[in-house]
Structure 1
């Protein structure tokens, strides 16, 4: 998901709905068990040509929170930020479910990639009509603004990722203002992951970039078929309407609405007809909507998921500073138990994931966590804690220097399945003498818990904006990085990642990246992949161009209701 990057999402089951769309569902309990590889070949989002979509109507869905930061490039932006951003800002690049990319002709008439004197040079030719809502032309300066704010050279810009942009030497005017020429320092492997979006030139202002979008969407600095209609922070709603300053095909929908709801409230709202689409990726949720499937009013849409469910281990939390303690926690968690809880009743199975850079259904994927030395082994975990000086206390909880090995474990939202996973983690860690104290948090507290690192252990997720996983190696493992909430890493690791990023051949970079990820995991023990899982959505019949789309990113104006 993103400016070409990974984004944070709440808990392990929460998903941001993509600008995608179909496919009907059969009764879930009668389907054969499938894995991610099978689901990766059958995205279900009801793809319909624009002429087969009705004019008018409203689309309403839920999100765990209306994230306070509306600037999707800023460090505190989440996957939800990106989902909102796409509805009222330029979407420059479109993606198929398989991850094939192409220029969005609403904004770009051509993208030319070539190698000149050993450097990748990409020339973007911008649609003449393309204009921001305040009248500022969308031209080469919009590309320059994104590069200047995201290349990492000016630390006053707090960005979510510098990956890729840090390897650009220049962004310059081409034949005229409506052409941007991007020149890299060397050969760059993942051109399709950059400049998926651009920024209004006003965002060169530090305060506007970092703080100006907090609880303020700034619709006047956007562009697209829709613009912000209403934002109600107190009630957690955000809606979009057609943009009368748009130059392309008008939006099919009259209104697009997001509502911030807890998991239980969301499934009830869907059953009551107040939502048009919602996640049903647990046995309980599927059972609740099954009568609606039987009645023929809704359908289940499934695909593989471009996200990681993970556990962050905060190295700055008391007791977790020592890598041996963090490794012990990894080895004290049986990921098969977590997966069994997560996927119970879903007729889905997967091998436990071993990388944050590629998914198991992608070419080049390797299980780097196992290669790093991870296995579920309570005895080995106990020995690591012994070596770190943590001895079992009278109650079984380990102690050192008069302090208990007690760690906060926030759980976001009221989904019973996520709560059950947290309880399982608590129970497993207690067996090795670690007290993981569960703290229940509301869905609207996700951004605060994550950005302020109010946790010792944190079950959450990464959501990918595109298929170019190793393009965002630094975002996941560098220190500092907004996504690496574990606080692990080092300058040496940063340098090694930078060297891998310079490899211009994608296959060679993936090979070198897998080796380095194995090395980093074995050294840091900071973020632990738990599951990937399927995307499973319940949608009202007729919802077109939206749903379980894997990497799909389409034109927002084509989403709507099938004729």
Structure 2
């Protein structure tokens, strides 16, 4: 599942299961390429037995997402995923190389086979597995995920239906602690599904959509940790060891998230109040490098930043205007703004479904739009927008003007907003920049309270292509442009029905190009990740596809 993230300097995160990130100078002063950084990991991998018992971990978040249900569309943010994963089941995690790891505390066996041309997966559940309220974890939890996410009931506002919509049957196996999932045809990316579970008590649409708002429901969770403190008003949530946990105990005594703006988080780390922070800008890296007891950890991220144009807003409802806006923006310049001073080079990202270092990647956006201010002017002329005496175009007495919302106080976010406004001014468009706190991120996104917005999409697994419909189907709850065309739905949905990865890559590129021609989004850059971390923090930090379960995070012996 893709999740939303703010794109500027963000708190370091080990995204533990489902997942809306940051680069570095080399020791010899040269530059690191995207491809070479993708081969590196920097999360201090340590076996469970080499992590000491005890200690605390505190990091910052830009907000505590009001929607705590990570399966619901409004909860599909990186901040929400981090919190969810600390007190809900994590059945499947991934190694840095993208190999799936099934947690034996939840799954004692997983068997995949092909039967009559269909992929069939049998999950055998640990008989000790139980939710905090005493409800057994059995096949009905898988069934709850499927019923909510398969896309047949529009009452469920889900983050993604991809993969679940291709399940033909889900039944108990030899007993209630076994579940048999059968797909229609071959599913190459089945390991992308059922990474977490939904308590059956949360299955009704009303509870699914509304029941978790400002209410995390720890009693419906399970795992080595549970919530010990939740203070929405002051932005604090703390987890402590779960007395109902049947598996390997968590190494940390407690784990806390505190809501902070970027500048406050930077100072909090320097003052010893938090244990990790993003170092993903030139100024932050300079301030954090060489700090006593601090490691700078660098690797690639699974994040692509992108612009969204709200096609439901009056000015941007005109497809010619949206096309002109995208033609007026230089992706190379946006990339330079984000990566300045980090000793890192990469071409602009041209896809939201595959990352530049993955097999099958193509610059699909570059096949649709190229930076061409003169063509943008021609498109605006043809649409009836004529330049005024102040340089701002107008039509029927109304100026060509709309808003850009920027969240948080990080200077890079402000620089991107300013650079974008300057580029659009060159073709006669006035961009009004509206600055809001980081804590308004979810409100702005879910309420579509913007004309233009800049954010990031993070893939929660190695299989980004598996979530193509989440991005490009016309009923998506993820992308907020509102312009994905139903005419493209059949093409988009056909991608994951093909039997080989290479066939899917080719079809996905075709589908992505068709969707980019609706001019609702513009990918810009696949960010690297640079984190400043307290020395000795284990299994935490940038590691390509790496994710782990909470009990494995702690302080190295």
Unaligned runs of 5+ in 2: 17-22
Give the secondary-structure state (helix, strand or coil) at the position aligned to 1:137: coil
CA contact (8 A) 1:131 1:138 kept: yes
Could you tell me which of 528, 532, 535 is aligned with 1:541?
535
Deviation at 1:194, TM superposition (A): 0.5
1:524 equivalent to 2:514? Answer no
Q: Is the 8 A contact 2:64 2:235 kept in 1?
A: yes
Is the contact between residue 93 and residue 102 of structure 2 (CA under 8 Å) also seen in structure 1?
yes
**Is 2:296 the partner of 1:300?**
yes
d(CA) in 1 for partners of 2:541, 2:27: 21
Taking a change above 3 Å as real, the CA distance of residues 383 and 429 of structure 1, as seen in their structure-2 partners, is same
* 1:290 Cα offset (Å): 2.2
Q: Which residue of 1 aligns with 2:252?
A: 253
Distance 1:189 1:324 in 2: 38
Q: Decide whether the 8 Å contact of 1:70 with 1:213 is kept in 2.
A: yes
- Once residues 419 and 405 of structure 2 are traced to their aligned partners in structure 1, the CA distance between those partners, rounded to angstroms, is 14
Among residues 551, 554, 558, which one is paired with 2:548 in the alignment? Answer: 554
Shift of 1:114: 1.2
Residue 46 (str. 1) matches residue 9 (str. 2): no
Deviations 1:472-505 (A, max 9, x none): 1111111221112000112221122112222132
CA contact (8 A) 1:8 1:79 kept: yes
Q: After TM superposition, give the deviation of residue 507 of structure 1 in Å.
A: 1.9
Residues 473-512 of structure 1: matches in 2 within 5 Å? Answer: 473-512=468-507
Alignment-derived partner of residue 460 in structure 1 = 455
Q: Name the structure 1 match of 2:121.
A: 122
Relative distance call for 1:192 and 1:26 in structure 2 (3 A) is closer
Residue 384 (structure 1) aligned with residue 367 (structure 2):
no
How high is the TM-score relative to the length of structure 2?
Answer: 0.97
Among 311, 315, 330, the alignment partner of 2:326 is 330
Q: Does 1:210 align with 2:206?
A: no
Q: Distance in 1 between matches of 2:160 and 2:534?
A: 36
For the residues of structure 2 that align with 1:232 and 1:550, how far apart are their CA atoms? 32
Please state whether the residue corresponding to 1:84 is helix, strand or coil: helix
Paired position in structure 2 for 1:37: 35
Q: Secondary structure at the match of 1:370?
A: helix
Q: 548-557 or 138-147: which moved more?
A: 548-557
**1:418-453 CA distance string (max 9 Å, x none):** 101110001110101111110001000000000111
Tell me by how many angstroms 1:338 deviates: 1.2
Paired residue secondary structure (2:306): strand
Structure 1 residues 493 and 28, CA, compared in 2 at 3 Å: closer, same or farther?
same
2:216 corresponds to 1:222: no
| Structure 1 residue runs of 4 or more that deviate by more than 2 Å after TM superposition | 11-16, 25-32
Query: Which residue of structure 1 lines up, in the alignment, with residue 73 of structure 2?
Result: 75
Q: What is aligned with 1:357?
A: 353
**CA offset at residue 80 of structure 1?**
1.0
Match of 1:18 in 2: 14
SS, match of residue 88 in structure 1 = coil
Cα offset, 1:384, TM superposition? 0.9
Task: For residue 251 of structure 1, report the CA deviation from its aligned partner.
Answer: 0.4
- Which whole-Å CA distance do the structure 1 matches of 2:448 and 2:62 have between them? 18
Cross-structure match for 1:59: 57
| Equivalence for 2:19 | none
Whole-angstrom distance in 2 between the partners of 1:137 and 1:506: 37
User: Contact (CA 8 Å) 1:12, 1:459: kept in 2 or not?
Assistant: no
CA deviation vs aligned residue, 1:33-69 (integer Å, no higher than 9, x gap): 1122111111100001111111101101111111101
Number of residue-to-residue matches in the alignment:
550
Helix, strand or coil at the partner of 1:109: strand
How much does 1:289 deviate?
1.1
Structure 1 stretch displaced more, 469-478 or 537-546: 469-478
